[in-house]
Amino acid sequence: MNSSISRQLVLWLAIPLMLLSLCGGLVHYFNNVAPGVIDSDRRLRDAAAALMAHVQVKNGQAVLDDAAGPPYLPSRDAAVYALRDSRGRLLAGDAQLAAAPMNGETSQLLAMTQWNQHPVRSLTTRFDTAAGVVLITVADLRPVPERAARYGLMSTLLWDFVQLDVTLVLVWVGIQIGLRPVRRLRQEIAARSPQDLRPIDETTVPREIAPVVVTLNRLFTTLRTSVQSQQQFIANTAHQLRTPITGLQAQLDLLLAEAAAAPVKTRLLTLQEGIRQLAHSANQLLTLARADPAVNIAAKLPVVDLQTIVGEVVARFYDRALAAAIDLGVEAGSTPIQADPSLLDDLLSNLVDNALKYTPAGGSVTVSAGRGAGRPCLAVTDTGPGIPESERLRVRERFYRLPNSPGHGSGLGLAIVDEVARLHDAAMSIEPGPGGRGTRISILFPPGSLR
Rounded distance, CA 185 to CA 197, Å? 14
* pLDDT score of 294: 56
Same domain, 217 and 115: no
pLDDT at 99: 75
Cα–Cα distances in Å, from 152 out to 27, 36, 41, 194?
Answer: 11, 14, 22, 63
Tell me what pLDDT residue 152 has.
64
Residue 189 falls inside a structural domain:
no
Of 433, 431, 449, nearest to 376 by C-alpha is: 449
- Kindly report the pTM of this predicted structure: 0.49
Same domain, 266 and 335: no
Looking at the structure, do residues 19 and 137 belong to the same domain, yes or no?
A: yes
Q: Is residue 157 part of a domain?
A: no
Note the pLDDT of residue 313: 92
In the DSSP assignment, the letter for residue 101 is P
Domain count along the chain = 3
What average pLDDT values come out for the chain (451 residues) when binned by 10 residues? 68 80 73 69 83 79 64 61 81 80 75 79 82 83 64 71 81 80 82 74 79 85 74 63 74 79 80 75 67 57 88 91 92 88 88 89 92 86 88 80 65 80 86 88 82 62
Bridge partners of residue 216, in order along the sequence: none
- Using the 3D structure, point to which of 99, 128, 148 is the last residue of a domain: 148
Q: Look at residue 327 in the predicted model and tell me its pLDDT.
A: 93
307: domain CATH number is 3.30.565.10
Q: Quote the domain boundaries for residue 320.
A: 301-449
Q: Are residues 339 and 274 in the same domain?
A: no
pLDDT on residue 72: 47
Q: What is the CATH number of the domain that holds 236?
A: 1.10.287
Q: Give me the residues paired with residue 442 across strands.
A: 379, 429
330 within a domain of the structure (yes/no) = yes
Residues whose CB is less than 8 angstroms from the CB of residue 408 and which lie 6 or more positions away in sequence, other chains included: 277
